[in-house]
């Protein structure tokens, strides 16, 4: 009888112990909070003016950007010039597949959209390689397998974490968008941008600033990554 009671108590204790562990393993991920602090939404600026921007990111699992708990190179700012500000409602709030993959990979660690880092900018790549099936396959292979000597002494590391189709999606996005003079990307929670139109002339319109951050998922499952975007408009005086 005593042995039976002890066995029953053991089962009950074991069940009570396992249940909280399972609950932790299935912990729900909370979406990050992204906020563009500067400049102020719907304010007006002169064309070709230089301005500072600041972005704040808060995530229950990842931490706070103001305490350097969020990596700056994982915070992205898209600056898009729109001649007609009314068209902002027509733009998708979801990143295209290629851009989404680039943000979650290490592409922006070595490449700037339009500027010089360790590797050539996406604009330079777009100038050398027109968008066609042959160039997409050639560059997608380099993304997967790496390359050396194509752009001087800079080397492209391998990316075994990407599939063939994912590398094609990345290259397709680069070759389609890198030559767009009304589009630019920056990384970091703060920095400086220049508000310029496609030809530098004085035109009315607006600049759409979109800040995004993709978190690292719940503590026990990075596959639950969530992305949040904050969008503001700046009008041309």
- CA separation for the pair 197, 201 (Å, rounded): 7
As given in the structure block, the two tokens for residue 157 are: 């590391």
- The pLDDT mean for the chain works out to 84
Q: Where are the beta strands (DSSP E) in 106-175?
A: 147-151, 154-156
* Mean pLDDT value of segment 161-177: 95
Which residues contact residue 80 at a Cβ distance below 8 angstroms, ignoring those fewer than 6 apart? 91, 182, 183, 184, 207, 208, 210
The pLDDT of residue 139:
95
Cis peptide before 39 (omega within 30 of 0): yes
Residue 151 has pLDDT above 90, yes or no: no
The pLDDT of residue 221:
60
The pLDDT of residue 192:
93
- CA separation for the pair 93, 150 (Å, rounded): 35
Confidence category of residue 225, pLDDT binned at 50, 70, 90: confident
Confidence category of residue 17, pLDDT binned at 50, 70, 90: very low
Residue 178 has pLDDT above 50, yes or no: yes
Taking only the tens place, the pLDDT of each residue in 180-220 is 888 999 999 999 998 876 655 556 788 999 999 999 988 66
The pLDDT of residue 44:
92
Domains of the chain, each with CATH number or no CATH: 42-236 (1.10.760.10)
* Mean pLDDT value of segment 121-134: 94
Residue 28 has pLDDT above 60, yes or no: yes
């Amino acid at each position: 009888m005593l042995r039976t009671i002890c066995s029953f108590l053991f089962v009950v204790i074991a069940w009570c112990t396992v249940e909280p562990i399972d609950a932790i393993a299935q912990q729900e991920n909370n979406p990050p909070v992204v906020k563009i602090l500067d400049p102020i939404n719907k304010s007006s600026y002169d064309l070709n003016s230089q301005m500072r921007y600041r972005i704040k990111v808060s995530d229950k699992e990842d931490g706070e950007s103001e305490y350097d708990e969020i990596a700056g190179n994982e915070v992205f700012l898209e600056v898009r010039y729109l001649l007609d500000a009314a068209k902002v409602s027509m733009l998708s709030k979801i990143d295209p597949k290629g851009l989404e993959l680039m943000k979650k990979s290490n592409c922006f660690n070595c490449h700037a959209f339009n500027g010089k880092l360790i590797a050539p900018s996406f604009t330079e790549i777009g100038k050398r390689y027109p968008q066609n099936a042959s160039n997409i396959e050639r560059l997608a292979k380099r993304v997967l397998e790496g390359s050396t000597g194509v752009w001087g002494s800079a080397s492209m590391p391998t990316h075994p974490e990407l599939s063939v189709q994912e590398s094609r999606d990345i290259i397709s996005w680069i070759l389609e968008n890198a030559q767009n003079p009304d589009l630019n990307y920056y990384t970091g929670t703060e920095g400086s941008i220049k508000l310029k139109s496609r030809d530098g002339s004085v035109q009315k319109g607006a600049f759409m600033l979109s800040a995004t951050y993709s978190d690292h998922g719940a503590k026990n499952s990075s596959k639950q990554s969530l992305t949040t975007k904050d969008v503001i408009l700046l009008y041309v005086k």
